[in-house]
Structure 1
Amino acid sequence: MGKVVGFELNSQHPEQSIEFYKELFGWSVEAPNHDYWPVSTSKEPGSIGGGICKGPIDYPHGIRIQMEVASIDETIRKGREMGALTVRENMEFDDFYLAYLVDPTGLGIGLIEKK
């Protein structure tokens, strides 16, 4: 596992970011769900989708990639042993679990475990 499955653009002005990326790249943006607007970048096979969201206090601006893992808890444990910080513990959503780490160099990543 560890396959990149998505991205997240964090902005304090998500509506402005949405208009920018729609106009510049022709992205399709869905209705928001909890200040998160799902994004489709292309209809071509293998395209990676993601979302634009109101950046939280712990990551107000920036881009995070999201990786699919077999076990979020195991990945967090191993990441901590390697010097990563846990920004958000395992959160449950309808079809998946999500957590956020910051690697030892300061880069933020998302972890997704499908149900």
Structure 2
Amino acid sequence: MNKVIHFEIHAGDPKRAVKFYRDVFGWEIEEWTMPGVEMKDENRYWMVTTGPETEPGINGGLIFRQGPAPAEGQPVNAYVCTIGVADLDGSADRVLKAGGSIAVPRMAVPGIGWLMYCKDTEGNTFGMLQPDENAR
């Protein structure tokens, strides 16, 4: 089997997206420079650390969007990453306060937990899951 090892978030306004993900999930996000490469907007890159290396999960990156943002109501045409959270309702509040929106409201995934899909400030869809084996 091959494990997913990295993700990338596409953003029309990376500074706004960095603020969103820091405010909502507390991720560490730092701009990365490639030695010897002129850093024009289209090749600027931010490294995203989502948690300690000792915990399950993956880290990723954030880049300038290379084409148009998803249109409102357009179905997802990409991978959707789901982020584990301890408090789904509190996380949803932080999403809204940070300028995001709720795409699909809280729902039970029986025996697994509570799931919600949201959109960030760049129109990207992501999931949040609060584990709860009693979810019904």
TM-score normalised by length of structure 2? 0.42
Higher gyration radius (CA): 2
Query: Which has a greater percent of strand?
Result: 1
